[in-house]
């Protein structure tokens, strides 16, 4: 009997002292949604870039902004809806063009980067709030410590063809880590830095679908990389989920169109070049396809835009 009591007591101490974690997002998820089997995405992938996020909080300088953008990139790639340009390549271009490499870049800068990198959109953002509080109790026999990390992340998506902000979003996340000890046994209640990443991921995870839904309101587009006769070469291919037979309308972008009130660029004059159809892929990278003119109205050149027809 005494042995059984000792076993029960030991088990109680073990479970009482075992560390625990919990994560909370600001997005309600139903049981049905969590059980839903993820369907493979078969639509055309969007080519986007993510600039390193700015950290506006007083916490974690030098790491929270980079961690936030890294998490978003990971989630975007995992969704299989996007081709995300490596941030190292993006940073290199921005440094060469003497642009800032993090935070709130202006729409004109986003357009310039997009034209150089052949992107549809640029994502910029910031960690606007981050805080960690410690809660706990300290009794004669037992001690309990809980760290709670709260974060707010703001995000903007800039369309590189028009320079317009097509999505402004904000997400909140929370992560908790609880540790306890009894009679000196158990886990010490020291701060766990993994809470930062868990809170950030909880705040950021909803952005993926929101970005996808907003971009899908606009026709998928790619840039002309080269042309020969009545054929054009696009900077998108099999890795973008393109198929042979897809129809495109292509345009030459001209002079900026500015809002007379704010003087901001709201678009560009366009000259219709004609309709094309993808006939085959080229190269080994998966980022090249060839389209043949169905109706040719002008002379294409590198940098012109082709949009998928409905």
**Shared domain check, 164 and 90:** yes
**Shared domain check, 160 and 49:** yes
Q: Of 175, 171, 173, whose CA–CA distance to 209 is shortest?
A: 171
Q: Is residue 151 part of a domain?
A: yes
Q: Is residue 136 part of a domain?
A: yes
Bigger pLDDT: 219 vs 21? 219
**Shared domain check, 231 and 202:** no
**What is d(CA 64, CA 197) in angstroms, rounded to the nearest whole number?**
8
How confident is the prediction for the chain on average, in pLDDT? 80
How confident is the model over 30-43, as a mean pLDDT? Answer: 54
pLDDT of residue 182: 45
**Shared domain check, 165 and 198:** yes
**Which tens digit of pLDDT belongs to each residue from 60-111?**
777 889 999 999 999 999 999 999 988 777 778 777 776 655 555 677 777 7
Which pLDDT band, with edges at 50, 70 and 90, does 13 fall under?
very low
**Shared domain check, 142 and 48:** yes
Which range has the worst mean pLDDT, 27-31, 199-203, 279-283?
Answer: 27-31
- Domain of residue 92, residue span: 41-215
User: Which residues does 132 contact at the CB level (< 8 Å), separation at least 6?
Assistant: 59, 147, 148, 149, 150, 191, 195
**Shared domain check, 166 and 46:** yes
**Shared domain check, 237 and 145:** no
User: Which residues does 233 contact at the CB level (< 8 Å), separation at least 6?
Assistant: 224, 225, 226, 227, 282, 288, 289, 290
Q: Is the pLDDT of residue 234 over 50?
A: yes
**Which tens digit of pLDDT belongs to each residue from 275-307?**
999 999 998 888 999 999 999 999 999 989 999
Q: Is the pLDDT of residue 30 over 60?
A: no
The whole model's pTM is what?
0.77
Number of structural domains the chain divides into: 2
Reading the block at residue 10, the tokens are 């030991």
How confident is the model over 102-121, as a mean pLDDT? Answer: 77
With vertex at residue 76, the alpha carbon angle to CA 44 and CA 117, rounded to the nearest 5 degrees, is 70
Last residue of a domain, one of 215, 244, 260: 215
**What is d(CA 84, CA 77) in angstroms, rounded to the nearest whole number?**
7
pLDDT of residue 194: 80
pLDDT of residue 198: 92
Which pLDDT band, with edges at 50, 70 and 90, does 25 fall under?
low
**Shared domain check, 200 and 68:** yes
**Shared domain check, 285 and 248:** yes
């Amino acid at each position: 009997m005494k042995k059984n009591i000792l076993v029960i007591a030991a088990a109680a101490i073990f479970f009482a002292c075992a560390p625990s974690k919990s994560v909370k997002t600001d997005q309600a998820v139903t049981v049905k949604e969590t059980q839903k089997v993820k369907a493979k995405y078969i639509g055309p992938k969007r080519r986007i870039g993510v600039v390193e996020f700015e950290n506006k909080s007083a916490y974690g300088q030098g790491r929270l902004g980079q961690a936030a953008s890294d998490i978003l990139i990971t989630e975007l790639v995992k969704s299989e809806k996007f081709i995300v340009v490596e941030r190292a390549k993006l940073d290199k271009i921005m440094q060469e063009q003497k642009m800032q490499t993090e935070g709130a870049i202006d729409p004109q800068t986003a357009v310039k980067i997009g034209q150089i990198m052949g992107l549809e959109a640029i994502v910029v953002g910031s960690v606007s709030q981050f805080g960690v509080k410690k809660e706990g109790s300290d009794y004669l026999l037992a001690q309990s410590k809980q760290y709670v990390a709260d974060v707010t992340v703001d995000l903007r998506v800039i369309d590189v063809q028009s320079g317009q902000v097509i999505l402004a979003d904000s997400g909140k996340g929370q992560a908790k880590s609880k540790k306890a000890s009894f009679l000196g046994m158990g886990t010490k209640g020291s701060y766990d830095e993994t809470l930062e990443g868990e809170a950030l991921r909880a705040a950021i995870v909803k952005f993926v679908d929101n970005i996808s839904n907003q971009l899908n309101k606009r026709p998928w587009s790619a840039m002309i990389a080269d042309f020969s006769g009545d054929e054009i070469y696009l900077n998108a291919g099999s890795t973008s989920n393109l198929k042979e037979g897809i129809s495109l309308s292509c345009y030459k972008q001209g002079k900026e169109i500015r809002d007379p009130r704010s003087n901001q660029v709201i678009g560009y004059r366009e000259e219709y070049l004609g309709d094309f159809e993808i006939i085959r892929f080229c190269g080994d990278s998966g980022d090249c396809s060839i389209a043949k003119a169905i109706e040719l109205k002008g002379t294409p050149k590198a940098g012109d835009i082709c949009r998928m027809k409905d």
